[in-house]
Structure 1
Amino acid sequence: MKAYMTNGTVDFLKKLDDQHPAVNFHLMSSNAGGLAYYEDHKKNIFSSGRAYEVLIQKGAIQTEGYVVMNNIPVTDDGRAAFEDRFKQRQNDVDMMPGFQAVRFLKPDKGNTYVVVTQWASAQDFENWKNSEEFKKSHQGQGTKPPAYFADRPFITTYHMLNREE
């Protein structure tokens, strides 16, 4: 399965949604603007979007919730090791209260992988970050990033967009 996303103003994304009624867009907003995300086996409809291969998929993306995207730049040489390490990780995130969905996305172009998690609320995400399960799943990650990181990972957060707003 493939995943596609693009950024833009909320008004632009709503128009895009209206122009492509057959596409099941998940529209999101943040202080920095909006994001449209969809999953499909077909080709990318965005003229300036990003395409990914979905490596891990748990849960269904909901129309309401809080979305956290962990953007992780990985070196070309480190891709296989990073993917393997991520797949081997015992991740209890899907057992946490408020968890809705997770996607592990491999970029078609570029080097930035994206781990998308969706939560019922921002507080549910904070509870996950402060949990014993989080500590276990991130064990062994000191302050120095692994050698396969091309740059420091960064997080972007969104709220699902209510289409009536």
Structure 2
Amino acid sequence: MNIALQYLEGEESLFLSNKGNKVYIDEKEYEIIDESGALKEDAIHVFNYVSVNPASRERFEKRFLNRPKLIEKEKGFLSIRVLRPLTDNTFLILTQWETVKAFQDWQGSKAYQHAHKKRGTKEGLDQEKGVLSEKPYHLLFKTKK
């Protein structure tokens, strides 16, 4: 699958390609370590970028592999890919949604609160010293027409 994407809040565009257990964002290669749902061409694509210190990669991956998997039950959810970077230390969590509103509803849901309940606490990876090398952020893209 090959998808041309356009950033929702600007002119930036990128190209997403999925081949077997690999996902390519432009020229950057990732390995899929967790997935649910089929990737769709026509969707809202949310890219969550999480920079992890090299010594903490295994801990970060373990946390995601043991996630509660509540997102899959949300209205408007299409798919998720947890992607391990092969050239640097920025993981990518790609989710696909039917609409921007469906993604925003997920962010305001009890399921989201549960999935992120440790954020900001001493048990959260965001507070544990040495795990994250930068503050995570997300960008929204749509299929380029």
Q: TM-score range by the shorter chain?
A: 0.7 to 0.9
Supply the distance in 1 between the matched residues of 2:43 and 2:24 (Cα, whole angstroms): 25
Structure 2: how far apart are the matches of 1:42 and 1:78?
23
RMSD: 2.1
How far does residue 91 in structure 1 lie from its aligned partner after superposition?
2.1
Counterparts in 2 of 1:63 and 1:150: CA distance versus 1, 3 Å: same
Give, in angstroms, the shift of residue 44 of structure 1: 8.9
- 1:42–1:74 CA distance, 2 compared to 1 (3 A): closer
Q: Report which of the two structures shows the higher radius of gyration computed on alpha carbons.
A: 1
Q: Structure 2 residue aligned with 1:150, among 130, 133, 145? A: 133
Q: Structure 1: any 5+ residue segments left out of the alignment?
A: 1-23
Residue 78 of structure 1 aligns to a residue in which SS?
Answer: helix
Deviation string, structure 1 residues 1-37 (Cα, Å, up to 9, x no partner)? xxxxxxxxxxxxxxxxxxxxxxx31111011411111
Instruction: Give the C-alpha shift of residue 60 in structure 1.
Output: 1.2
Alignment partner of 2:132: what SS? coil
4+ residue stretches of structure 1 with deviation over 6 A?
42-46
Matched residue, 1:15: none
Confirm whether residue 62 of structure 1 aligns to residue 40 of structure 2: yes
Partner of 2:16: 37
Aligned length: 138
Higher relative contact order (CA 8 A, sep 6+): 2
| C-alpha contact 1:72 1:114 (8 A) present in aligned 2 | yes
Provide the C-alpha distance between the structure 2 equivalents of 1:156 and 1:85, rounded to a whole number of angstroms.
22
CA offsets, 1:128-162, max 9 Å, x none? 00000000000111175433001111111101122
Which residue in 2 is equivalent to 1:103? Answer: 81
Q: What does residue range 9-48 of structure 1 map to in structure 2 within 5 Å?
A: 24-30=1-7, 31-41=10-20
Show CA shifts across 1:112-135 (max 9, x none): 000000000000000000000000
Equivalent pairs: percent with the same residue?
Answer: 23
Which amino acid in 1 is paired with 2:142? Answer: H
User: 2:28 matched to which residue of 1?
Assistant: 50
